[in-house]
Every structure is written in C-alpha cells, then in structure tokens.
C-alpha cells in the first residue's frame, strides 16, 4: 500500500485539536493536503542513493511520534513569564539544534487552517537551513532526501524546545515541520523572520527559501522582552520579486502563478499546490529553491545592488 503522508501527520492534528484553546474561524483557509497516489519516478541510481542515505531520514516518523507525545504531555499554563536566564538557555538549545532564525507572533483564529486548533495563543517559529549543495542539480533525489532530513531536524527542534519549556513550567506544544495547523510561510512572515516569495516559500535573511519551518505554541507573554521583530526590514524583497520572476519561468510543472490567485474565491495563493506536490514527489523538485537568487546570494549584496538599480524595475527575460 502506498505511503500516505496525510495519515502520518493526522495524529498530530488530532492531538492539537483535542487541546485547542483557539480554533479556526469561518474565514480560515482550507488546509492543504499532501497529494496522494503519485508515484516517485525513481530510477536504479535514485534507489541506490536512497538506500545509502536512509540513515539521514529514518528518524522522521519517530520525530512525528514524539510530537504527538509532547502535545499530550502539555499540562497547560502554569507559568506565563519567562526569565532572562531561562530564555538564554532556550536560545542555547535552539543554536545546538541547528535553528538559524526564530521569531514569534500572536495567532488569530482566521490564520489557522479550517478545522484546526491550537492550545496556546503565541507561536514560536523556527527556521533551519537545508544544504544548498543538495539543490544544485534539482530536480533530483538529493533534494528529496535533504527535505526529508530537514523535516526530521526541524521537527525535532520544535519537540526539544517544547519539552524544555514544559520542564520549566510553561504550557508548550510542538507543531512538527510536517503538518502545520497554519501556513508556515505566513507564520514566518508574521514572526518577522521572512517574507513570502513568488514561489510561496518564506525567504529569510540567512537562508533565502532554502530552509524548513516548525513551530511551538505557548502562552509565554513576555517573549517580546527578548525577541525583537524587524518585519519591515525584509519588505524590499517583495519589490525584488516583482523584478525577478525566475522561479515562475523555471518551474517544470508551471505551478507558480504570475500573481496570487484566489482559487477558493477567498484566499489568494501563489502556487497550484497540487501541481507542485506532484512535481516534488515525482521528480524530487526544488527547482524554485535552486533558482531563487536568495538561495545562493548574499542577502546584503543583493540588497545593495537592488537598492542601486531600484527604479529600473523590468522583469528579467
Ligand atoms: S518545487 Fe518544483 S514544482 Fe513546486 S513550485 Fe517549485 S519549481 Fe515548481
Ligand atoms: S526566484 Fe525571484 S521571484 Fe521567485 S521568489 Fe525568488 S526572488 Fe522572488
């Protein structure tokens, strides 16, 4: 029987819904499901690569199992203020877990996918880099393995941070990098660590779109004492995107729209998620990550040259 990613992530969603203090609203977007029934187009050398690298990805199902366990273990709010000392220990933990950037925001009902709930009102959002080298030959099996590897790594980071916060008397539940209760690109934007590129992924300062996101929900009220959000600083990237369009031109399945479209008549989306998912499963895509100048580029250098050329504004051919 083919592997169902939707079934694998469902227990996490059920566990979060069972503890929900905030639930989606009537205007919430529909949750995007993984496309089922598409078979990977692996040849013999892909299969060999997969077997050779199985050690990098075998932990993924265990991290999802651990996520469910930690959500069930969440005893709710006992403590709502974090001290500097505990926050600094959490920061050290984030560094040790390979989290490159993080932020937080207060979640509102309409930001949750329809039918989804969360136990606490703040979302701590974590981003961990993927290995850029794995995308050099995209589409490829290397990309697929790298994405699975980082799903495990970022999911594990959310688990460990939630566990740390629980041990320190806070209500905290992880949401694995697979199967978010909300749109993670949007979450990165709200948390001030990224803006959403035309390929619909969050572009961050350190890793461009070459990263994955996970979340911890908590009720800690004074995160703003320690985490400074600089949302506006990244907004120039949206102007850059208008002049670029490379991901749109290079996408092998033509999944990326020229401009956001409200396919459900309500919520604008930048990509045809079904087409993209098929491309990813079938070919191990990731072409848009490879092509995005923010993957390879130096953020400051790109900003400097864009500021100089601002005003020219023609999309490259
Ligand atoms: S991953 Fe591939 S199919 Fe999906 S949007 Fe990017 S380039 Fe297109
Ligand atoms: S490839 Fe260009 S248009 Fe697409 S997200 Fe990256 S910067 Fe924006």
> What are 149-179's pLDDT values in tens digits?
999 999 999 999 999 999 999 999 999 999 9
Instruction: Name the nearest CA neighbour of 76 among 121, 12, 11.
Output: 121
Which residue is closest in CA terms to ligand 2's atom 5? 197
Instruction: Name the nearest CA neighbour of 187 among 97, 118, 87.
Output: 118
Q: Report the atom number in ligand 2 closest to the C-alpha of 199.
A: 5
Query: Under 8 Å CB-to-CB from 232, ≥6 apart: which residues?
Result: none
Confidence of residue 313 (pLDDT cuts 50, 70, 90): low
Distance CA(187)–CA(181), nearest Å, equals 10
For residue 211, which phi and psi values (nearest 5 degrees)? -160, 175
Question: Does 182 contact ligand 1 (Cβ within 6 A)?
Answer: no
Separation in Å, CA 192 to CA 125, 196, 205, 234, 277: 9, 11, 10, 8, 27
Q: Report the atom number in ligand 1 closest to the C-alpha of 139.
A: 2
Which residue is closest in CA terms to ligand 1's atom 5? 276
Identify the residue with better confidence: 37 or 225.
Answer: 225
Q: Report the atom number in ligand 2 closest to the C-alpha of 242.
A: 3
Task: Report helix, strand or coil for 220.
Answer: coil
pTM score: 0.92
CA of 296 to the centre of ligand 2 (A): 12
pLDDT of 189 reads 96
Alpha-carbon torsion angle 154, 157, 161, 162, nearest 10: 60
* Mean of pLDDT values over 57-64: 91
CA of 306 to the centre of ligand 2 (A): 13
pLDDT of 315 reads 47
pLDDT tens for each residue of 7-38? 889 999 999 999 999 999 999 998 887 777 77
H-only helix segments in the chain: 5-18, 44-52, 54-57, 60-73, 84-96, 141-167, 184-190, 236-244, 246-250, 273-283, 287-291, 293-296, 299-309
pLDDT of 16 reads 98
Task: Specify the residue for token string 């699975």.
Answer: 148
pLDDT of 280 reads 74
* Mean of pLDDT values over 283-287: 82
pLDDT of 11 reads 95
* Mean of pLDDT values over 280-304: 88
Query: Under 8 Å CB-to-CB from 24, ≥6 apart: which residues?
Result: 109, 110, 112, 113, 114, 115, 116, 117
pLDDT of 263 reads 80
Ligand nearest to the CA of 251: 1
pLDDT of 35 reads 73
Give the total residue count for the chain: 317
pLDDT of 231 reads 77
Q: What tokens appear for 167 in the block?
A: 């041990």
- Considering only the C-alpha atoms of the chain, give the largest distance between any 2 of them, rounded to a whole number of Å: 57
Separation in Å, CA 13 to CA 46, 69, 110, 171: 32, 12, 17, 17
Distance CA(23)–CA(11), nearest Å, equals 17
Q: Is the pLDDT of residue 40 over 90?
A: no
* Mean of pLDDT values over 234-241: 95
Q: Is the pLDDT of residue 316 over 60?
A: no
Q: Around 13, how many Cα atoms within 13 Å sit in the side-chain half-sphere?
A: 20
* Mean of pLDDT values over 198-212: 96
Question: Does 287 contact ligand 1 (Cβ within 6 A)?
Answer: yes
pLDDT of 58 reads 85
Query: Under 8 Å CB-to-CB from 275, ≥6 apart: which residues?
Result: 253, 254, 255
pLDDT of 42 reads 80
Q: What percent of the chain has pLDDT over 90?
A: 71
Ligand nearest to the CA of 279: 1
Q: What is the mean pLDDT of the chain?
A: 91
Q: What tokens appear for 217 in the block?
A: 């929900």
pLDDT of 32 reads 80
pLDDT of 311 reads 59
* Mean of pLDDT values over 92-108: 97
CA of 85 to the centre of ligand 2 (A): 40
pLDDT of 317 reads 42
Distance CA(280)–CA(135), nearest Å, equals 12
Angle of CA points 197, 284, 53, to nearest 5°: 120
* Mean of pLDDT values over 215-223: 97
Q: Report the atom number in ligand 1 closest to the C-alpha of 278.
A: 3
* Mean of pLDDT values over 214-231: 93
Q: Are 249 and 315 in contact (CB under 8 A)?
A: no
pLDDT of 74 reads 96
Distance CA(181)–CA(121), nearest Å, equals 13
Which residue is closest in CA terms to ligand 2's atom 4? 247
Distance CA(67)–CA(131), nearest Å, equals 24
Segment among 173-187, 213-227, 263-277 with least mean pLDDT: 263-277
For residue 267, which phi and psi values (nearest 5 degrees)? -115, 110
């Amino acid at each position: 029987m083919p592997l169902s990613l939707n079934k694998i992530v469902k227990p996490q969603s059920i566990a979060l819904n069972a503890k929900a203090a905030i639930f989606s609203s009537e205007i919430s977007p529909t949750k995007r499901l993984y496309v089922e029934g598409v078979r990977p187009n692996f040849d013999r050398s892909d299969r060999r690569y997969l077997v050779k690298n199985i050690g990098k990805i075998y932990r993924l199902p265990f991290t999802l199992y651990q996520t469910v366990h930690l959500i069930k273990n969440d005893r709710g709010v006992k403590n709502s203020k974090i001290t500097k000392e505990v926050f600094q220990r959490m920061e050290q933990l984030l560094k040790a877990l390979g989290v490159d950037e993080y932020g937080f925001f207060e979640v509102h009902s309409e930001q949750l996918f329809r039918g989804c709930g969360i136990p606490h009102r703040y979302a701590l959002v974590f981003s961990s880099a993927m290995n850029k080298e794995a995308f050099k030959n995209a589409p490829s099996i290397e990309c697929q393995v790298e994405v699975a590897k980082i799903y495990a790594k970022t999911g594990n980071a959310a688990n460990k941070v939630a566990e740390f916060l629980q041990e320190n008397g806070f209500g905290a539940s992880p949401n694995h990098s697979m199967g978010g209760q909300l749109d993670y690109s949007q979450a990165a934007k709200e948390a001030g660590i990224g803006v959403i590129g035309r390929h619909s992924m969050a572009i961050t300062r350190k890793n461009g779109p070459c990263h994955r996101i996970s979340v911890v929900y908590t009720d800690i009220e004074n995160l703003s004492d320690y985490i400074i959000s600089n949302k506006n600083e990244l907004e120039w990237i949206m102007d850059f995107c208008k002049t670029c369009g490379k991901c749109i031109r290079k996408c092998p399945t033509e999944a990326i729209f020229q401009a956001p479209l409200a396919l459900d008549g309500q919520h604008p989306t930048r990509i045809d998620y079904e087409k993209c998912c098929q491309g990813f499963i079938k070919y191990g895509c990731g072409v848009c990550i490879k092509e995005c100048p923010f993957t390879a580029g130096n953020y400051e250098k790109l900003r400097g040259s864009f500021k100089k050329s601002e005003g020219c504004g023609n999309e490259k051919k």
